[in-house]
Amino acid sequence: MKKIGFFIICTVFICSSCSNFEEININPNNPSTVPPEMLLSPIISGAVRSMTGSGSRAGQYVQHLAWLGGTSEGDGRYNLTGASFREEWNVPMRLIKDVNRMKIIAKNNRQQEYEAVAIICKVYILSLMTDAYGDIPYAEAGMGDVSGMEFSHYQSQSEVYSLMLEDLETANDLLAALPVKTVINRDILYKGNPNAWRRFANSLKIRILMRQSQKKDVSADVAKIFSDPAKYPVFETNSDQATLEYNNNPDYYEWFMQNPPADGSGVNFESNERVSDVMVNMLLKFNDPRLYIYAAPTGNSYRKHVSNSLHTLEYRGQTAGLSAMEQDEVYKNTGLNKDDYSVIGKRIRKENRAFLMTCCELLLLKTEAIHRKMIQGNAGETYKAAVRASFDKWQRVGQDSDETTPFISEEQKTAYFRPETAYNPDKGLQQIAEQQWIDSFLNGFEGWASWRRTGYPSIKPGPSVLSPIPVRYVYSDNEQNNPNLVKWVKETTGGTMPDHNVKVWFQP
């Protein structure tokens, strides 16, 4: 009887243990489904990295930058293939998988703040993609790990724009309905502020509307946003704009940031990239103080100035798209060398910020809407506010001197605003586009998209480049094996895969 009793007790214990076995073996530090906020920081930083990477590629196409002759045969001289764009395609599309995951988890948990932020991140990332590539997968983007969706279906750029606008409307509504004290955790962009995300969503909506404004009438939609700030808040000051601060974390630093060199210059004279002659000449022409933020003095003039402070610092831009032979010919004819061209400036090299979308851009788009009579307003005042917002990005850092960390002073701003730099209705669209191009320095995607839409500033390719200036990225060689892309191309372009000289839909 004792043995039987012992057996019954053991059986009950084992059965009871089995009923709790699954619970016991769940590791609370490694849950099967992560909270949505755990995905947010890497999504934001990944989205920003997709944008900043465009500074050296699209930034060359639109001539923010130019490489010394012969040192960038692919991008600078347009020797481009699908292999050239492999990571530019793969990295953002992989990131969309995490965005989709965050949205699903948030929706299942009824955490609409994270659902809204996931929507905004998806729109931001895929807006970069469609602006660069044209037609892309949108509804099925990032779903390659879902059975039956291994090969995503493509949608036209016009449809993608419509879907993005619908999604931003949804995100704005979700955020507007949140309880007042809602905080978004692990938010490295806006420090948890849902209202700031609303401003970003609606400002991004204006960008997308104006992007397609040469192809369809968007006046009513633009007016609806600007006329109802309670329902559609947008950027009003620089504190509202979408700026990622890296908090001195070197893991997040982008290619144009670096530790100061030992020579005290604060820049890298040995690099091959230079600020373009188009940028330097435009800033010099109008005595624009952003020159001293974007560009460094030439290496040769800097060294002479160090030896003799009376020697003038010089700024000179590099011509884009030169071959090695053409560059050598320039050196021979002018007596210049590689150190007679301006590299990226000290302030940029010391930066810990990346600008996804600026208040200046939003105000310039508003100026354009006024100029084109989409909305009421004073174009001259809005234009001046936009330029000032661009200057105000470069405030003094603590007590650092201008020599240590260049900044734009109030005196420089006042000196800039004069009759020849004021808004002129007769050439207003050109002025707006050129200011947007200047403000977007190192955001190659935005400067390039604005140039393709407006035609400003006036840029030209090098004398012997392999093609005209690219107007789109090329689908990566891997993606060109997607049977749905092959089918889409056959149905829309007669079977010819578009190269970098085929315009995207939004271009006039």
Q: Which domains does the chain have, with CATH numbers?
A: 49-77+237-247+265-462 (1.25.40.390), 81-234+473-501 (1.25.40.390)
What pLDDT digit, counting tens, does each position of 131-144 carry? 999 999 999 999 88
Would the pTM of this model clear 0.85, i.e. be above it?
A: yes
Among all chains, which residue has been given the structure tokens 């060359």?
60
pLDDT at site 149: 78
Percent of the residues in the chain that have a pLDDT greater than 70, as a whole number: 92
What pLDDT digit, counting tens, does each position of 75-129 carry? 999 999 888 899 999 999 999 999 999 999 999 999 999 999 999 999 999 999 9
Backbone Cα Rg of the chain: 26
> pLDDT band at residue 30, thresholds of 50, 70 and 90?
very low
* CA 355/CA 436 separation, integer angstroms: 13
Strand 353-357 and strand 242-245: the pairing is antiparallel
Query: Distance between the two ends of the chain, CA-based, in angstroms?
Result: 94
> pLDDT band at residue 3, thresholds of 50, 70 and 90?
very low
> pLDDT band at residue 10, thresholds of 50, 70 and 90?
very low
pLDDT at site 34: 84
Is 369's pLDDT higher than 80?
A: yes
* CA 282/CA 275 separation, integer angstroms: 12
What CA–CA distances, in Å, run from 490 to 41, 185, 474, 497? Answer: 39, 46, 16, 8
> pLDDT band at residue 257, thresholds of 50, 70 and 90?
confident
pLDDT at site 249: 64
pLDDT at site 252: 61
> pLDDT band at residue 423, thresholds of 50, 70 and 90?
very high
pLDDT at site 22: 37
What is the DSSP track for 29-75?
TS-SS--THHHHHHHHHHHHHHHHGGGTTHHHHTTSEEEPTTS-TTT
* CA 112/CA 173 separation, integer angstroms: 10
The b/e string for 40-66 (b: 16+ C-beta within 10 A; e otherwise) is beebbbbbbbbbbbbbbbbbbbbbbbb
Length reported for the chain:
508
Phi, psi of 242 (to 5 degrees): -85, 95
Region 395-422: mean pLDDT is 95
- Determine contact, residues 126/138, Cβ cutoff 8 Å: yes
pLDDT at site 2: 40
